[in-house]
Amino acid sequence: MREAQLRSSAAGFCRYVKTYLLPDKSRQSKRKTGIKSNSTNPVFNENLRYTISHSQLETRTLQLSVWHHDRFRHNSFLGEVELTFDSWEFDSNIEEWYALQPKVDNSIDSSMQYKGELTVVLKYIPAEKNLTLPLDQVQVNKKSFLKGNKTSRFMLPKGGMVELLVKEAKNLTAVKSGGTSDPFVKGYLLPDSNKSTKHKTAVERRTVSPRWNHTFTYCGLQPGDLENVCLELTVWDKEALASNVFLGGVRLGAGTGLSYGNVVDWMDSSGEEQQLWQRMMENPEIPQECTLMLRSSMGRHHDT
């Protein structure tokens, strides 16, 4: 943040710049410069830093707003600019000026509201490599893809395995008094949404940035199945005496809208969700880690 040119007839100019990395408008996303006094052309020379990958940054918008701060501690909006990064030249050091715009009343679609982030590690293990897995990681019955957390009568799998490490989440919605939640993650491998593919992590108490490090495994997957199934992960707040509260979710899949030739509404992965699944398919046995923005609406919810 170098400098800004502002015009005002007010005395006692005190200016500062505030930023958010949209769609996250939480306190964790907020950055501010120091206040510069008595100038309509304030020079800041401050670095406001965000730690984020390039691929994730391409889905974000940097909002910069300029404010007047008076002696009564009132803040008055002076203008803003929003910068996108999908075509940004990151190697360029050229300074650019941007005209400040009036505040826009953004009626953001509910599916795009920021609900926090989920970090996962995804890996596909081909069938021939499954023979080296511990027996308690393999479970097979009449279903074509099954979870493998429990030990049962052992049979060699007829396909590969998707292994998902649910690592952690950040900036989840606080739904309990004291600004916390009791979050856990639930997963299904669609189109099978019954108990045979249901996984849950443990519940982490009193936190909005939980760490689970819990692995979900799904066996019996042929390479052709990977284009037709979708791994749906939803985050919930555990309630003892009421229904659990939905906090957000993601869907990992090919995003084609089709499953085994049928049109389905849940095959709607896009952006990082779709790219992560594609990297997993193209790089078997190699773990693919990614931080995903949680959707605020999944269109359909399973019973908790």
Question: Phi and psi for 19 in degrees, rounded to 5?
Answer: -130, 150
CA 249, 293, 216 angle in degrees (round to 5)? 50
Share of the chain above pLDDT 90, in %: 46
Q: Kindly give, in sequence order, each residue whose CB lies less than 8 Å from that of residue 125, ignoring residues fewer than 6 positions away.
A: 133, 160, 161, 162, 163, 284, 285
Q: Of 122 and 12, which is predicted with more confidence?
A: 122
Under the banding of pLDDT at 50, 70 and 90, the label for residue 227 is very high
Q: What is the CA radius of gyration of the chain?
A: 24
Share of the chain above pLDDT 70, in %: 81
Under the banding of pLDDT at 50, 70 and 90, the label for residue 93 is confident
> Do residues 206 and 178 make contact, with C-beta atoms less than 8 angstroms apart?
yes
**Beta-bridge mates of residue 160:** 221
- Alpha carbons 276 and 290: distance in angstroms, whole number: 7
For the whole model, what pTM was predicted?
0.65
**Beta-bridge mates of residue 187:** 199, 233
> Do residues 27 and 19 make contact, with C-beta atoms less than 8 angstroms apart?
no
Q: What is the pLDDT of residues 115-168, one digit of tens each?
A: 899 999 999 999 877 664 444 444 443 344 444 444 334 444 468 999 999 999
Q: Over 70: is that where the pLDDT of 11 sits?
A: no
Under the banding of pLDDT at 50, 70 and 90, the label for residue 109 is very low
| 32-47: average pLDDT | 88
Q: Dig out the tokens for 244 from the structure.
A: 């659990």
| 3-state class (DSSP) for residue 145 | coil
